[in-house]
Amino acid sequence: MTNKMWGGRFSTGPAQIMEEINASIGFDQRLYNQDIAGSKAHAEMLAAKGILTKADAKSIIRGLNQVQSEISSGQFNFSRSLEDIHMNIEQRLKEIIGDAAGRLHTGRSRNDQIATDFKLYIRDCLDMLDGQLKDLQKALAKQAEKHADVIMPGFTHLQVAQPITFGHHMMAYVEMFGRDRSRIADARKRMNECPLGAAALAGTSFPIDRYKTSGALGFARPMRNSLDAVSDRDFVLETLSCASISAMHLSRMAEELVIWSSSQFKFITMSDKYSTGSSIMPQKRNPDAAELVRAKVGRILGALTSLVVVMKGLPLAYSKDMQEDKEPAFDAIDSYSLALAAMTGMVKDLKPNKEILRTAAATGFSTATDLADWLVRVLAMPFRDAHHVTGALVALAEKNKVDLAELSLEAMQKIEPRITKEVFKVLTVEASARSRTSLGGTAPRNVTREAKRWLKKLG
C-alpha cells in the first residue's frame, strides 16, 4: 500500500529495499520531544494568525501531549512504513483527534521541520556538554588546589625537561577545556536561528509569523533565507568539530593517565572504579577507562568527516542525503558525553604518588635551566654563554654519573671560576618550581591562585 501521508501521487507502495534505505524512524525517534515542541509552537502561531481555529489548535496540542506521554512511557508503537518521527507522530495524532491533525502541517514541510527538530536537539546537547566540561574543569581545579606544591617532572619530547607541579599540570587541562567551552558557546550562539516556516524550500504563501515560532522555541531569530534554512547543517558540523577538538584534548590526557599509571612510571594510582583486571594475569591493573576515552576521538572525528563528505557535493536546497547527518552525530555526541563523564570520574579519584613524582623530577638534570638562569642573574653572563657553561657542567655530571647538585664547587669552578656556593640553592627541584613566578608559571603560589580563580569562576 502507498504511504497515506504522501501517497496521492503514487499508485503502488515502495519496494522492500526502498523502505529499508528510506526509513529513519529507527534513529530519529529520539527527536520526539523536539518535534512535538516545534509542532506545538507552530499550531499556536497558526491559531494566532487565524490560519487555524483556536478549537483545532487546542485539540492538536492536547493530542500532542498525549503522544508525548505515550512515547515517554514506552507505550508508543513506531512504524517503519511511516518513515520518520514526523509522520509517526502525525499519524498517531490523527488517530487521537481526527482530521484536525492534518491541518497542523499547514505552512511547513518536513524539510524545515527536521531542520528545526535537529537544531533544538543539538542545542540541548551543547548545553549538556558544556555542563559536563564544567564539571571536569572543577574536578581538575580541585586536584590542582590540593596538590599545588607537589613536584613532578615536566616533559618535552617525553624527556624530563624542568620541574613543575602536579597542580600546574592539572591547570593546563582546565585551560584547554575552557577553550572547548568557549567554542561550544560560539557554536550555540551561531546556530540559534530558527528554520521553521521556511517550508520545503521557498517559504509559504500563508501569513505565518516566524518570529512568534522562533521566540516560542527559544531561538534568537528566524533564519533569513528559506533555501539556507532547510539545507544548512553547519550547526551539526560545527558541533562535531567542537567535539573532535575537545575529544582530542581528552585523548591527550587519557594517554598521560595510561603512562602515569603504568608500573614503569607509577606517577599516579587510578581508582578501582576506573580500572579493570585480567582474566589470566591476577596482578594486572589496567586503565581501561582511560584507554577507551583515548579511542573515542576516532569515532567522533569520523562522524565529522562523514558529514563533511555527505554535504560537500549537495546543491541547494534539501536532498535525502542529509538524512545521513543524524546517526553519526548521535553516536559522536553520545561517545563524547560518555568520555567526559569517564574522565571526570577518573580525575576526581586519582591520587598522585608524591615521592615517586619528586624523585622523577630530580632526574635528567632537570634544574639545568635554573643553573643557566643563575649564571645570567648573578654573574651577568649573556644567556648563550650561560647555556654553554651549563652544558659543560651537565656533561661533567653525566660523565661522573651524578646530578648537578652533586658536583663539587671545585669541579664547577674549573669550568666557570666565578661560580659560588650560592648556586646550590637553585639546584633543588623545589627551588626550581618556586622560582617560576611569572604569569602562567608553575610556582605553587601561582597554581593556588589560578585554581581558586577558576573554582570561583566555575561556581
The set of catalytic residues is 157, 278
Chain centroid to CA 78: 32
Which of 149, 121, 106, 128 minimizes the C-alpha distance to 31?
121
Count of alpha carbons within 13 Å of 400, Cβ hemisphere only? 15
Extract the C-alpha cell encoding 435: 622560582
CA 16 – CA 327 distance, rounded (Å) = 21
- Please give the helix or strand (H or E) that residue 450 lies within, else none: helix 444-458
The span from the CA of 209 to the CA of 50, in Å, is 11
**Distances from the Cα of 117 to the Cαs of 60, 349, 437, in angstroms?**
18, 38, 51
222 forms beta bridges with 194
Decide if 37 contacts 120 (C-beta within 8 A).
yes
CA atoms of 132 and 121, how far apart (whole Å):
17
Cell numbers placing 97: 483527534
Among candidate residues 218, 4, 230, 239, the one with its CA nearest the CA of residue 114: 230
Length of the chain: 459
| Selection from 131, 322, 345, 360 nearest residue 232 by Cα | 322
The grid coordinates of residue 43 equal: 499550531
- Is the CB of residue 317 less than 8 Å from the CB of residue 201? yes
Q: Where are the beta strands (DSSP E) in 88-222?
A: 151-156, 159-165, 193-194, 221-222
